Every structure is written in structure tokens, then in C-alpha cells.
Structure 1
Amino acid sequence: MSDILRAAFQAYQSGDYARALGMIDTAGKTPAGRTQELSSLKGNTLIRLGRMLDAAEAFAAGSALPGPNAAMLAKFAIGLYSRAGARRRIVEFGARAVALNPGETALLYDYAAALFEEGRYHEAAAAAGGLDRANPQHFALMVNVLRLTGQFGRLSEELEAACARDPGDMLAAVSRMVVARETADFPLVEAHERALGATADPQRSALTDSEPSMVRLLWAGSDRACALPSADSIRLTALPAAPLRRPVSPEGTRLKIGYLSSDFHAHATMRLLEDVLALHDREAFDITLFCHTTPGQEAWQRQHMPADLVSGMVRVGALDDEAAAAEIAARGIDILVDLKGHTMGARLGVVKRSDAPVKVTWLGYPGTVMGAGLDYAITDRIVTPDAAIPFFEEKLCRLPDTYQPNGMLNRPLPKPVSRREAGLPEGAFVFASFNAIQKITPGAFALWCRILKAVPHAVFWVFAERNEARANLMRAFRMAGIEEERIVFTSGIPYAAHVARLPAADLGLDSFPYNGHTTTSDMLWAGLPLLTMRGHAFQARVSESLLAAAGIDGLLAHGPDDFVARAVALAASPDRIAALKATIEQNRFRAPLFDSERFTRHLESAYRLMADRARQGLAPTLLDIPALPPRPAAFSDRSRG
């Protein structure tokens, strides 16, 4: 041991960490001082000083130096990066650390998880192959990376094996059902729904407690069922209680609104939200975006988002929950609005830790976000009637018209394409479903088949990208007696082209219980009527809300038989279809659905009421926001093209 290292070690042992660090840094400036031993001492000294990230960097640097301890130092570095939530550093350093520590599954998990969280799914999938399948956390990550990389064959094999090893493994059982829904494997989906319907079965609560909240919405047809505990809410509830809240900014000053999301990129949420962000009253509101979007979207943000919001954007993706909450507090945010809810990529731990005076959920998740300590859920009177109130952990703030904004300032108007260009037969009546495949339940599918049997000249235009889903759907159609040539599959295309193709259909058919949301508003923007059915949960009432805000009557069925009867009647009435399409187009710039300025003023009224109550020391309560007077004329002069 060199004299300088010996002196630094003595200072460290005596608790004089600052002096020890000074000597270590001095020694490190010489070639002789750059050793693994000195790097190890530096890392441990920095830990004692509370500088965890700097300690991780010291260990990482030491792992690159000659000596026998490279693997150990790399392992220490990854552990500290993980504790600090520095996932981008894990991504940068992880491959080396894994190579130095073969068989260390805990370290491999940290690396694969960081890749996954950074959106590098294929690299995460490659790393996940070496995870410990007996570890529930490892298994869950492996399932997610295989799902998102489309490796459904391998995933199905893994899930089948896991269920065979342990029939009581709820994580494997729930994951198997998720895959079944994403591939339209109706026999498995029906088995899942039977298990969920068996209220006396002790495994039912184990299943519901283990499933993600978003999966719940695919089958739960009532507000009560949607409010059952889920894996997400149970995990959040276990986090430390929220701190005391800060006071709201004084009356007469600008109200500080913070939006927290990972969707500040070319995402459906931004298509809805972009006008609101542009139209917020900057004299009354100070808007800050807290962004945990995957890196690489900066150019898109500069091109498509308001310049003042991009320049002031606070990037919290590399921060842990506590540090991100501290950033929100440092900017004095009065109302923190989480735009994710229980969806992939959410940072609800940040929300729960935040001391913002008012905390709100809106737009990302159609239901109660239990466990996050939220004050309000922004909804409307259709998606959350009075009967829904007892099933929300938050107090409801119900906007007039609809809860869903719909950006129209930059949204492309449809330039309709021909049936031939859309891959559709010229003379047929075309029903269409563009909802995500996991929303297609056996019940909704059965209604579609009844309609197709009653309208033999019709074809069904179905959005389904995965080969597994297409094969399963086609098998189910054949078993129901529907000829293959009547089914036309389609895939995702750029948004402007998608809007242009939608008018080639005659009538959209909704899914149940999870309706189309942005899918429905896209259809209405394009001028395509959509038939829906009255539901009994938030996600099952969204299309009804959007149709009402678009001023469209006659497309809300009151039960399965009525849904089939209305679809069949509309298929037999080309004049009625033409009239509906004309009304939708006439209302595009007259009805509230696409009136972004009206929506923004309503939303701002809601924020003011929330802040006023908090300023007075009053607890959150049900808020019904009054509507502005109807527009006397069109709110935009944009024309087709």
C-alpha cells in the first residue's frame, strides 16, 4: 500500500471523509494513483459523504483499471446507479458490468430493466434471456420485453411452462391472459373471464390483485369491478404516505400548472393535448412540462410543441422519484397533473411523493388511479355519472361537453381515398373496427358476427397488425360461419393517411367494455359514424361522451340486441348513412368536440376552482364545471384539404 493510500485510508477510518477524499483526488492525478484499490476507497468515501452517483462513477472507473477487482467494482457501480434511479448510466455501463459478472442475475436484471425503461426493447429482450425465471420481478420484466418485441411464440412457451410448473403462479396466469387478449385467443380469454366471474372462487381475488389496472379495463364492465385492487394500486399503496402539502400561490398571481408525462412525442395523448398546451392563457397560468419521455424526441418536441414549453421543459427521466418530486417542488407547482395514470411508463411514485397543493389525474387512464394520493380526477358527466362517484378514490371534477380534448389546429383534414386504394370492395357495405386488438372481447366479437350474418353483402375492415392475432381472428370468424373473403385486415399507417382512409368505411363498430377513445374521435374527425353501446364504467362510456360532444344522435345502442338491430338497419339505409356523415362533417367546426379553445377555458375554470378550495384550506370535493354559452357560429374556417 502506497503512503498516500495508507494516509487516505487512515483518514477514512477516523471518519474524516472530506480529508480522505482530498488525498484520494490528489493521488488520482498521477499515473501511480490510478488503481482499483484507490477507486474502491474513493467510492466508499463518497458513499459516506452521501454522494451515491459520484460513488458509482468511482467504482465504474475503477472497474476499467488493471487488477483483480474489476467485476466487484462494476457490480457496486450498477447497484448504486440502480438505487439512484440513474438508468441511463446503467444502459451506458451495463454491458461491461454484465460481461464482467456472468451469471449475476440481479445485475443483469438492473441492466435489462434500464434498457426496457429507456425504450430499447430489443436489447432488453436479448438481456432478459438470462434472467431468473423463478424470480417474479425478473419474470415480469421478461414477459414485458417479449410482448413489446412481438415474440409471442417464445412468450407463449415461457408462460405455458410457468403455469405448468406452478398452477398457483398468478403472475404467469395473468400474463398468459394478457397475451391471449393481444393475440385474440378467445378460448383462453373466455376461460379467464369465467374465472373472474366466479365470485366464490378464492383464486378470483388472487387474479385481480395480480393483474395490471389497464388489463382490468379490458373485461371489467362496471365501475365497481374497475375499482377492485390491482397490482398497480397495491404497489402504490405500500409506498410512504405523501408529505404535507405546500400552500397554493397567492390569489392574483399566475397559477402554476405542471404536466407530468412520458408521452411528449408523436403519441395519441399529444394529438389530443397539443391545442390545450398552445391555448393556455399565459397571463393567468404558468405551465411547466415535467418530461420523462424516452430520449431522442427532442427534435419532434421542438417542431410540434409550443416553444416556451419546450425551452422550459424539465426533464426528469433520469431522476429517481424523490428527486423528480423535488424538482416539482422547486418550481412551486400549484397543481400537478399526471397524464399517465395506471399506464406503462407512468411515474406515480413521483406523484405520491410530491407536495404539490393539488394533484390531479387526467386523460391517460380512464378510471380511478388508486394508491397515488390524488385529489381530483378530471372527467365529464357521461363517463362518470353520479352512480360512479363511490368508486373513485379521487373527487371528480366533471367538465362540460367531454373530458377529452381534441386538438384541431394542426390535425390534418381527411383527403378521402377510393375504396380500391384502401383495399376494399367497391360495392359492399363496409363495417370497420380500428380499436386495439386487446379490446376485442368474445362478447363484442359475437355481436359483430351476428351483424355480419344479418348483412350478407357487408365486409368487415379490421385493424390487426400481429400475424398471431389475424390467424386467431380468422379462425374465430370461420367458426362463426363468416367467410374469409368478407374480412379485410389492415395495419397502422401515418396519421394523415389513416384519417384519409377512414371515410372509405360506412359505419364503425365499437368495442366493449373498453370503447374506442382516440380511435373514436379520429373516426368522427374523418366523418365516419360510429355505433356504440351504453356502458357502465368510465372506459365503456367514452364513445357515448364523444358522440354527444360531436352533436350526433342515433348511434347509442341500449343493449346488445339494440346494437345489432341498429347496425343492421343502418346497413340497409344508405340515405341514413349519408345523412350521418354529412352531419358529422357539418358539426366538425361547430359542435364542442373539436373546439379546443372552449375546452381549454373550461379546463382553466376547473384549475381555478381546485386552487381556490386549496387556498381556503378546504378539502377536495365534487366539482361540476359550468359550460360556456354555445357558439353562435363555426369556431374555425378550416376547409377540407
Structure 2
Amino acid sequence: MRNHPTFHLLKNIFKFHNRIDFNICIFSYNHDDKCLEDIKQNVDEFIDITTKNNLETTTILKSYDLDILIDLSILIPNNRMQALETKPARLIISYLGYPGTSGADFYDYIITDEIVTPESSQKYYTEKFLYMPGCYQINDGVRKFEKLKTKKSDYEISPDTSVLASFNQAFKIDRAIFDCWLKILYTCENTVLWLLEENELMKKNIHDYAEKNDIKKERIIFMKRLNREDHIERLKHVRLALDTRIYNGHTTTTDALQCAVPVICLEGEHFASRVSMSLLKNLKLDDLVASSYEDYVAL
């Protein structure tokens, strides 16, 4: 576990586990020691497998005679899926780290919900669906809404300007959804759009495309990555969060909602594109879920 969005969603879950009927162990690699300080106090055992190869990891896992193993890192870089091929636990479950199927036959279940993966999508998964009663996504709890410590002027924005934002990574932004954002900017004159800064090529492409569509580049502002506390403070100045289409904001959407910032999203067709819809509908915010690009802009 590292200082990563998945960590921030998960970090409090261990406090609420049933430690009487279950023995909770964490097998961790490439972790950030600082992030794990609190977590270690809420589990029975912490095992560092950073220096272990897949075969050694399998041997260690089997030595614990595990009933349930939950993998948080399928298909992401440096995953340990190969260590699980010989079923070192009675049940192996995929959760949270990757929004989709592993494609492997040694995962028994994926923790999900009826919105992100309706029963009709079961045929595309090697895992059986293990449905949560609400949204599948755990989070770090209700955020106490503290008084703002900053002003819009601290971000070089005038007080009367409304801020729209999408703090999703650039790969999630496709032309169709960006066209919607430009239409919203065109309709709402006294607004700016905050995007997460990634690289100069991205900035140039975004600005060039906006200006070709009659939106001045000064209205699209790239914001630097900040530590989590400062990012949450900045996020509180946002009037409306604009979600991406092909791959939604996941932690990004939760962060906005916890800051009382409304999020609009477009209903997608697969897990990664239906997470925001699940979050919103479970909060009874169905009106913020659009079924078409036209509805998205109208919201």
C-alpha cells in the first residue's frame, strides 16, 4: 500500500473488521511505511513480501492456511497475480484496485454492486459477482466540512467566477466528453475549467482544441498535483465537478462528493464507466446522472 487513491479509500476499513471471528493479515509489497502506521494497529499480522518473488510469495501465503484472500492489485503494474495461480487460499476475491475482470480462472469472486456490473454483464467476467447492498466502493468516511482556509484569489480566480473541474487523469478525457465541457463553458460565460496538469503536450492539445472551438485558453486552467490535504482544500472552491465518460472518476468522484461538490456523469456501459453513477444513485442523486451527451450538457 502506498500514498495512492486506493489507499485513501481503504485506510479505515481495517478499524471495522470483526477481529473476534476473523484473523486479519496484510501481505504488502512496495508500500509506503508512513501510510501503514495506522493500518498496522488494526490488523493481526503484517507481512512484507516486497523482496519475495512469485514462488516465494505463494509459499508464504500457503503457510497461513488462508480461508479468504482479497487481491487489491490485479492487472496493475507490479501485480502479484502469478503468485495466486495455484490457489494459495480457499477463496480468492478481487476488489477495488482494478475495475473489471481479471480474466483468470483462479479468482472466485469480484466485490461489486448491481449498478457497476448488472447481472447481464456476468458473461464477460471469469469471477462470480459478490454484490454489496449499496455501492461497492469503500471510502474513508464522512469528511468533516471545515471552514475554508483559502480564497479563490489564492488560485488566481476572481470571487465571482464559478469553477468547474475535472481532476481525472488525462487518459480519461476523450473528445466527445471534452466537447460537452466546451459547450458548458460556452453557455456559462463567467466560468473556468480546472484540469489536472500532467504534461506540456496535453496542455497544448487541450488549449489548441478549445480555441478552435471559440473558447479562450485562459478559461481552461491546469492545476498542479498537491498533497491530499491541500487538494481537498482546493476542491472546496469548485461549483460543479465534470466527470469523464469512458473511465469515470472513482476516488476523484468520492473526493468531490465528500466536499459537498456535486458531480455530473454520463451513464456508461462497463464497470469503469459506471462507478460515478453507482455513487450518485446510492446517494439518491439520480438527477445528476445523464443518459446522453445532450442531457449531460443540459444538467
- On whether the aligned pair clears a TM of 0.5, the verdict is yes
Q: 1:380 deviation in Å?
A: 0.4
Q: 1:515 deviation in Å?
A: 0.4
The equivalent residue for 2:85 is: 352
Are 1:307 and 2:28 an aligned pair? no
The equivalent residue for 1:449 is: 182
Mapped partners of 2:29, 2:192: distance in 1: 42
The counterpart of 1:287, out of the listed 17, 24, 27, is 24
Mapped partners of 1:280, 1:542: distance in 2: 24
Report if aligned partners of 1:429, 1:458 keep a CA contact under 8 Å in 2.
Answer: yes
The equivalent residue for 2:65 is: 332
Are 1:542 and 2:279 an aligned pair? no
Question: Cα deviation per residue 1:189-233 (whole Å; 9 max; x = unaligned)?
Answer: xxxxxxxxxxxxxxxxxxxxxxxxxxxxxxxxxxxxxxxxxxxxx
The equivalent residue for 1:438 is: 171
Are 1:403 and 2:140 an aligned pair? no
Q: 1:485 deviation in Å?
A: 1.9
Mapped partners of 1:401, 1:360: distance in 2: 18
Mapped partners of 1:465, 1:277: distance in 2: 33
The equivalent residue for 1:623 is: none
Question: Cα deviation per residue 1:32-74 (whole Å; 9 max; x = unaligned)?
Answer: xxxxxxxxxxxxxxxxxxxxxxxxxxxxxxxxxxxxxxxxxxx
Mapped partners of 1:496, 1:280: distance in 2: 26
Report if aligned partners of 1:401, 1:548 keep a CA contact under 8 Å in 2.
Answer: no
Match of 2:10, SS state, is helix
One-letter amino acid of the counterpart of residue 307, structure 1: Q
Q: 1:423 deviation in Å?
A: 2.8
CA pair 550-496 structure 1, distance change in 2 beyond 3 A: farther
The equivalent residue for 1:111 is: none
The equivalent residue for 1:298 is: 33
Q: 1:499 deviation in Å?
A: 1.1
Are 1:374 and 2:111 an aligned pair? no
For structure 2, the residue ranges without an aligned partner over 5 or more in a row are none
Give 1 or 2: higher helix fraction.
1
The equivalent residue for 1:593 is: none
C-alpha RMSD of the superposition: 1.7
Match of 2:138, SS state, is coil
One-letter amino acid of the counterpart of residue 503, structure 1: K
Alignment of 1:479-518 (within 5 A): 479-518=212-251
The equivalent residue for 1:530 is: 263
Percent identity among equivalent residues? 30
Report if aligned partners of 1:379, 1:398 keep a CA contact under 8 Å in 2.
Answer: yes
CA pair 266-351 structure 1, distance change in 2 beyond 3 A: same
Mapped partners of 2:175, 2:97: distance in 1: 25
Q: 1:339 deviation in Å?
A: 0.2
Match of 2:129, SS state, is strand
Mapped partners of 2:105, 2:120: distance in 1: 23
Report if aligned partners of 1:422, 1:504 keep a CA contact under 8 Å in 2.
Answer: no
Report if aligned partners of 1:533, 1:559 keep a CA contact under 8 Å in 2.
Answer: yes
Match of 2:24, SS state, is strand
Mapped partners of 1:504, 1:524: distance in 2: 13
Question: Cα deviation per residue 1:572-601 (whole Å; 9 max; x = unaligned)?
Answer: xxxxxxxxxxxxxxxxxxxxxxxxxxxxxx
Alignment of 1:161-176 (within 5 A): none
The equivalent residue for 2:295 is: 562
Report if aligned partners of 1:502, 1:526 keep a CA contact under 8 Å in 2.
Answer: yes
Q: 1:462 deviation in Å?
A: 1.3
Report if aligned partners of 2:26, 2:46 keep a CA contact under 8 Å in 1.
Answer: yes
Mapped partners of 1:397, 1:277: distance in 2: 20
The equivalent residue for 2:2 is: 265
One-letter amino acid of the counterpart of residue 506, structure 1: R
TM-score (norm 1): 0.45
TM-score (norm 2): 0.94
Match of 2:18, SS state, is coil
Q: 1:555 deviation in Å?
A: 0.5
Report if aligned partners of 1:451, 1:564 keep a CA contact under 8 Å in 2.
Answer: yes
Aligned residues: 298
The equivalent residue for 1:91 is: none
Mapped partners of 2:76, 2:230: distance in 1: 27
For structure 1, the residue ranges without an aligned partner over 5 or more in a row are 1-263, 567-641
CA pair 427-461 structure 1, distance change in 2 beyond 3 A: same
One-letter amino acid of the counterpart of residue 132, structure 2: L
The equivalent residue for 1:521 is: 254
Mapped partners of 2:175, 2:189: distance in 1: 21
Question: Cα deviation per residue 1:229-263 (whole Å; 9 max; x = unaligned)?
Answer: xxxxxxxxxxxxxxxxxxxxxxxxxxxxxxxxxxx
One-letter amino acid of the counterpart of residue 277, structure 1: F
One-letter amino acid of the counterpart of residue 481, structure 1: D
One-letter amino acid of the counterpart of residue 423, structure 1: E
Q: 1:476 deviation in Å?
A: 1.4
One-letter amino acid of the counterpart of residue 269, structure 1: T
